[in-house]
Amino acid sequence: MARSLVTVLTLSALVVAWPAVADEPFPSRPITLVNPFPPGGQADLTGRPLAAALEKVLRQPVVVVNKPGAAGAVGTQSVAVAKPDGYTILITVPAISTLPEVDRLFGRASTYTRDQFAPIALINADPTILVVNSAMPWRSVKELLDDAKRRPGEITFSSSGIYGASHVPMEWLLQAAGNLKMRHLPTTGGGPATTAVLGGHAQLWCSPPGVASAHVKSGKLRPLAVTGAARHAHFPDVPTLKELGYDVEYYLWIGLFAPKGTPAAALKVLREAVRQAVDDPAFRNAMEKIQTPIAYKDADEFQAWWDVDAARLAEVIKRIGRIEGRSS
């Protein structure tokens, strides 16, 4: 009898407690913002000041956690399978779109799929800038590519990983220039890719302007071209690849995502928080410092934009084809 009474009281307590847990305000504890790349890249340069701005709005810590590996697949997949409660979100680049297409190209099971994510917001969308170590002799794209024709497989470019966000535009250019061959040095992100060029382990790479700008100003890197449809506002003297006759147009954007199935109420809070955060003066100053314009789009608009961009990149991956075993 006593045991039955204890059981009834315990069950009653759980029933009473459950609505209180279910109805707790969001967020009521720290949020983890996963960056699937190491520090120093565009996702990190955007994510850290954004996290600080989000904390002001949400009144909870927003902790940036770097989970690099496999061109971003490791950290991205960790969010895809995370509990969809709004407390684990992702900041990433176009690799979220390209890597599932690469899996499809090689006929292997996907690490994750796009439909495992719910867009929260687009933060910025900048073309990459083709930069070379200033010790190199090339002062134009023509000089670089002419040299590559003479010395196939001898010039080395770095990237954030195989088929990653900075690898794709470089392969696209080599294909557009007549299937030229360069040696590829994949790294784990934008910071290491830049270090490889600065240290002479590679001679060039397609960098986000925000990552390259300080090194261009210091004279350590020389910009040769941008991959956008128009010249970059902060590099007005640098031509576009299209101007130079190469049909390459590519943007390295930064977006925020939650796992699919995240409650609508939590997504609404996150969307509103990001909307306010991108207008935070400290965040805007941080983006201005790295010469990266804000290109904010809320979830619905971002979803439509992302669908179009992903379809375009899927076609690019198909055109590039399987590069395993090639020098480039």
Residue 2: pLDDT band (50, 70, 90) is very low
Residue 327: its pLDDT value, please? 37
Q: Who's near 190: CB < 8 A, 6+ residues apart?
A: 37, 40, 41, 42, 43, 44, 160, 166, 207, 208, 211
User: Is pLDDT at 3 greater than 70 in this prediction?
Assistant: no
Give 157-178 pLDDT, tens digit per residue. Answer: 999 888 888 999 999 999 999 9
Residue 324: its pLDDT value, please? 58
Query: Rounded mean pLDDT of 86-95?
Result: 96
Give 244-273 pLDDT, tens digit per residue. Answer: 999 999 999 999 999 999 999 999 999 999
Domain boundaries defined on the chain: 30-125+252-319, 129-250
For 33-84, what is the HEC assignment?
EEECCCCCCHHHHHHHHHHHHHHHHHCCCEEEEECCCHHHHHHHHHHHCCCC
Q: Which CATH superfamily is domain 129-250 in?
A: Periplasmic binding protein-like II (3.40.190.10)
Q: Does domain 30-125+252-319 have CATH number 3.90.1300.10?
A: no
DSSP codes joined into one string, 158-173 = EESSTT-TTHHHHHHH
> Comparing 30-125+252-319 with 129-250, is the CATH topology the same?
yes
- What percent of the chain lies above the pLDDT cut of 90? 81
Residue 154: pLDDT band (50, 70, 90) is very high
User: Is pLDDT at 1 greater than 60 in this prediction?
Assistant: no
Residue 107: its pLDDT value, please? 93
For 172-201, what is the HEC assignment?
HHHHHCCCCCCEEEECCCHHHHHHHHHCCC
Give 209-239 pLDDT, tens digit per residue. Answer: 989 999 999 999 999 999 999 999 889 999 9
- What percent of the chain lies above the pLDDT cut of 70? 91
Q: Would you state the torsion angle of the CA atoms of residues 68, 72, 77, 82, taken in this order, to the nearest 10 degrees?
A: 60
Token pair of 47, please? 């994510």
Residue 325: its pLDDT value, please? 44
Residue 71: its pLDDT value, please? 87
Give 270-316 pLDDT, tens digit per residue. Answer: 999 999 999 999 999 999 998 899 999 999 999 999 999 999 899 88
Give 19-70 pLDDT, tens digit per residue. Answer: 334 568 999 999 999 999 999 889 999 999 999 999 999 999 999 999 999 8
